[in-house]
Amino acid sequence: MSKWMIYAKKADFRGISQKFGISPVTARVIRNRDVEDEEEIRKYLHGTMADLDDAELLPGLKDAAFVLKRKIVGGERIRIIGDYDVDGICSTYILWKLISFLGGEVSTAIPERIRDGYGINDRLVEEAVADGVDTIITCDNGISAAGPLQKAKDAGLTVIVTDHHEIPFEEVNGEKRYIFPPADVIAEPWIPDAKTGEPKARFPKICGAEVVFKLALLLLGKPDLTGEKSALEEEHVKVARELLGFAALAAICDVMPLLDENRIIVREGLRELSRTDNTGIRCLMLAAGLGSEPVTVYHAGFVLGPCLNASGRLDTAGRALALLKEQDEARAMILARDLKQLNDSRKSMTEEGVETAIRMIEEEIRKGRSMESRKVLVVRLEDCHESLAGIIAGRLRERYHRPVFVLTRAEEEGVLKGSGRSVEAYDMYEEMNRCRELFLKFGGHKMAAGLSLTADKAELLDRRLNENCSLLQEDLDEVLHIDMELPPACVDLALVRELSALEPCGTGNSRPLFAVRNLLLRKTAVFGRNRNVIRLEGSDDTGAHYDFVWFTTEDRLPEALADGPAKCHVAYEPKINVWKGRESLQFVIKDVKCLS
């Protein structure tokens, strides 16, 4: 059962309400997102592309723009080396479109997940040298690739690294010593200030595609993207708008916090994605059944993104990149449908992997290995497709509320590859650094990581991670953060419409969640193809009735509710339900605590 935490942050909610023309309820929700002063609130509610930090302030980006422009003008061969996830694919496309538009001689390469692993490697460097490439520019990778980049430098290539992952380090006498790769330029938001050790970038929590989008802004002359799209816009502005849409898609799929600059890029970028002229992404929308409706965070993260990701998981990410480059509608539609089918296959394989992992974990519990002794789960699924390890780890984390590593068999004999997904209180990258000698290769950040190691070290990894783990039980309890107690009687259609100003919602900027005490709940209907939608009626002490819906199955209902009406505390999200053109309030249940 989840633990409820009701925010109690203070502010002059009535003053904020009057200043910005919003209700005190909305003002309180905004304060709960740690948005405090008036300028922050203004940017949160009404921020535009003009509110982004100057791209020149991102460490190394001005130098990267200077070197890249010189190479383009000089007609040098440029090779973009990206990665196989959505961020890597979108980053690669942004750079390819930018350099092509500016007249550069450019080619792309994306590593194959199983053959190459993450990021740039010796093979890709050797291919670049053989092809007569002058300059390599990485995107969404490179910061931890000292070996391959040294090989590139030894061959006489110019190297530009653009990345957003945390910088590798080793601890020496309790201090971090950062390990930078050999490169002519490194553009990276996490580069630390020499004096403070803090990132130089004001807001470093951006994805790889956002880094290269800012690079594009510099090379395109910092175009004004604040106005409405117009057919009369200059070509460089149209290009920037298109690239903004891909930066937003990547930020969502790479699970960046939807605050500060990310919030602006995602909000404005989704608008551009919804009306994009990119043939490939329009065909993918049609193949995925989106039609002409505006693209939302959900569509980006759970419909479009997984289709692009599926190519890198089960085949080659080059197929997704080819789709984004394709201008012929017929060929693009064939590519889009292929990606949709690949993603459908990925879904069924994932479900099978999750079920197998749960059986293994439950079997170990029956044999006496308690969850109390396993604050960190290390699960070996050797027959699982290695590309699904991260998704399965995420699903297991949601179920068991603790950090999870899933290990799968690699192509190389005696080697395992793995992915990890973490909880807020556990810095996965830091903890992996504490036993870095066990890995052949590893990288990542606080909430997610990738690794490879020899199979004989898997048990030792399990033991060391758990021995080093300092998580307390309270760190593993699922916590539901509730904005405030708000009886349904205080909610109307106008408030729900106003709360839509908080969009885009997602990681770091959750949807408003409210709680009501002592509500009498009664199940009235069960429907849905999988009988996973339950309608309930709630009534308060005044006798007023409200419509609730809970997306769950009957077997997961609290016993008191399954047997009949029950007094409950209810955590809910208010929504507007539209049926045959009529709007009505609907309250979506997120959790229930029965009082009897």
Which DSSP state fits 376?
S
- How many beta carbons lie within 10 A of that of residue 67, not counting itself? 17
Give Cβ neighbours of residue 26 (< 8 Å, ≥ 6 apart). 17, 495, 498, 499, 501, 502
CA distance 98 to 239: 8
Domain with CATH 2.40.50.460 in the chain: 480-594
DSSP strands (E only) in 464-565: 479-482, 484-485, 514-527, 533-539, 545-550
CB 215 within 8 A of CB 187: yes
Tokens found for residue 455: 């199979």
pLDDT of amino acid 1 = 61
* Closest among 222, 124, 208 to 162, alpha carbons compared: 208
Which DSSP state fits 580?
T
Pick the CATH number of 370-476 from 3.30.360.10, 3.30.420.40, 3.30.720.210, 3.10.310.30: 3.10.310.30
Tokens found for residue 313: 């998981």
CB 531 within 8 A of CB 554: yes
pLDDT of amino acid 437 = 95
Pairing of strands 484-485, 545-550: unpaired
Query: What pTM does this model have?
Result: 0.89
* Closest among 124, 179, 119, 215 to 452, alpha carbons compared: 119
pLDDT of amino acid 172 = 84
CATH code of 480-594, in short, is: 2.40.50.460
CA distance 109 to 173: 40
Domain with CATH 3.10.310.30 in the chain: 370-476
CA distance 262 to 260: 6
* Closest among 387, 255, 271, 273 to 324, alpha carbons compared: 273
pLDDT of amino acid 308 = 96
pLDDT of amino acid 589 = 96
Only one residue has tokens 């601890």, namely 171
Q: Name residue 272's amino acid.
A: E
Running along the chain, 596 residues long, what does each successive block of 10 average in pLDDT?
89 96 97 94 96 97 98 98 96 98 97 84 97 98 95 98 91 86 97 92 96 98 90 92 98 94 97 96 95 90 94 87 97 96 90 94 88 92 90 93 95 92 92 94 85 95 95 87 96 96 93 96 88 92 93 86 89 91 92 89
Tokens found for residue 369: 């290995």
CB 114 within 8 A of CB 387: yes
pLDDT of amino acid 393 = 96
153: Cα separation from own chain's centroid:
33
Fold type of domain 51-276: inorganic pyrophosphatase (n-terminal core) (3.90.1640)
CB 538 within 8 A of CB 588: no
* 583, containing H or E segment: strand 582-594
CA distance 335 to 323: 6
